[in-house]
Amino acid sequence: MTAPPPAPLPTPPQGLRRFADSLAARLFALTLGAILFTEFLIFIPSVSSLRTQWLEERVAAARIAALALDAAPMREVSDELSESLLMKAEVLAVAEIEDEMHIQLLAPRVAIDGPMRLVDLRGSTAMGRSFAALREYLAPEGEILIVVAEGSAEGRVLEILLPQAPLKAGLIQFAWRIAGLSLIIALVAAVLIYAVLDMFVVRPIKRVTISVEQFSRDPGSWTRRLSPTPRRDEIGRAQNALSGMEEAVADAFRQRAHLAELGSAVAKINHDLRNSLASAQLVSDMLAKSDDPRVKRAAPRLERALERAIELATATLDYGKAAPRPPKMQPVSLRMVLTEAADEALNGAATQLDIHVPASFVFTSDPDHLHRIASNLLRNAADAMAQAATASPHIRIALAQGALVFKDNGPGLPEKARANLFKPFAGSTRANGTGLGLVIAHELASALGGELTLLETGETGSAFRLALPGLPA
């Protein structure tokens, strides 16, 4: 049952809608809103200060009028002078309270009608003045304020009546001026902040987003790849991580294409190769009937080599299918298998080999799997030492705690090879190597019920540990 195709990605919006849904638009709106909110917080104490100043100016003018009355005989003035003093003080009436006596200094010239509200300027707090200033905007039409303040002399209390409408009109004009100025400042600041954020935040994120979107649509051939950045903040780390991921994915697709081409090539040559090997096997059978003792000794080894070559051609296809051949368990002379694997892998190389395995030791395993594991390990070690021009190259094979240990005195494995040790086409240290040798050896060890691991590596050489069932502990 095949999996359903992935659902297509939604088409991104275009034009103004695309900008409205973008991170840039949201950052701009958020910046503008934050600045306007800050301006509003500044506006509250400003309008409170304006209201207090407006009221104190009227109180000061009323005090001057009260002092003028003190200078007049009997504290009485003409109606013309009283009206003039009220107009200059911009109040409706002025009274003074002394020793709990209410003295009318400047009487109102017209009837006072409308709702009244008491405003006491003595001992008011900043919080109270702020709430009172905001309340002025909601005052009803025709409201009269009764303002109480300190009088012209100690122990006196000044009480004045004045209309609230001029105060409300002044506060509204002030609010409009502040609103316009705040909007201009907010727009300019928002544009500047947006430009900085767009350069250092939005554009890098946009590049990352476009690359991710293109990758999600076509992981195998997207072209908008990111380059590493020297930035060390979160965006820089995200871009560098994505850049590394893109490179890793590109390598994975190249390896997949390589594997596909390899599988196709092997499939094409497998038939002809097996036919050629079958013909060679017939020749080896004829050689086995020869009376020459040297031919008789060499013929069995040639026959086993041809059988392994046929198995290898088939196993290469099996590897591409991730299905290695099941092991054929039988009694095996471990030293003999290791000797034959060394003859094939070293092939006359100037590498000293020491096999510390008793000749009489026999255990149950698959000789072909063992041969391929040992030959791959020995060949890799010999090639690495030859490439590094190691002086007196040496390989030692010994039994130790239920495992075979392959130890060489080569240059050791580089960091990249250690990180990709058992990955196909990734763990090779040779210029033209495929990295399949260790992968095949690892899979064959698992098929035998054992495990192949890197025991140690460094400047003094590398050691691989092959743990298998049946080896002495």
Q: What is the mean pLDDT of residues 189-210?
A: 76
pLDDT at residue 128 is higher than 80: yes
Q: What is the 3-state secondary structure (H, E, C) of 298-342?
A: HHHHHHHHHHHHHHHHHHHHHHHCCCCCCCCCEEEEHHHHHHHHH
φ and ψ of 105, to 5 deg: -85, -55
The per-residue pLDDT for 266 is 63
Give the global pTM: 0.41
120 three-class SS? strand
Neighbours of 361 (CB within 10 A): 14
Q: Which residue ranges does the chain devote to CATH 3.30.565.10?
A: 326-473
Cα distance between the two ends of the chain: 47
Query: CA angle, 10 as apex, 256 and 243 as ends, to 5°?
Result: 45
Given 3.30.565.10, 3.40.50.150, 3.40.1010.20, 1.10.3720.10, which CATH number is that of 326-473? 3.30.565.10
359 three-class SS? coil
DSSP string, 142-193: T-EEEEEEE-SSTTEEEEEEEESHHHHHHHHHHHHHHHHHHHHHHHHHHHHH
The per-residue pLDDT for 431 is 45
Of residues 417, 325, 336, 333, the one with CA closest to residue 380: 417
* Tokens, residue 406: 């392959």
Work out the pLDDT band at 430, boundaries 50, 70, 90: low
Of residues 25, 44, 52, the one with CA closest to residue 182: 44
Q: What is the mean pLDDT of residues 361-367?
A: 93
Residue with tokens 């002495």, as numbered in its chain: 472
pLDDT at residue 62 is higher than 90: no
* Separation between Cα atoms, residue 53 and residue 224, nearest integer Å: 64
The per-residue pLDDT for 94 is 80
Q: What is the mean pLDDT of residues 227-237?
A: 71
* Separation between Cα atoms, residue 226 and residue 239, nearest integer Å: 7
Q: Which amino acid is at 364?
A: T
* Separation between Cα atoms, residue 227 and residue 236, nearest integer Å: 11
Describe the chain by its helix, strand, coil percentages, rounded to 5.
55, 15, 30
Of residues 30, 265, 278, 69, the one with CA closest to residue 156: 69
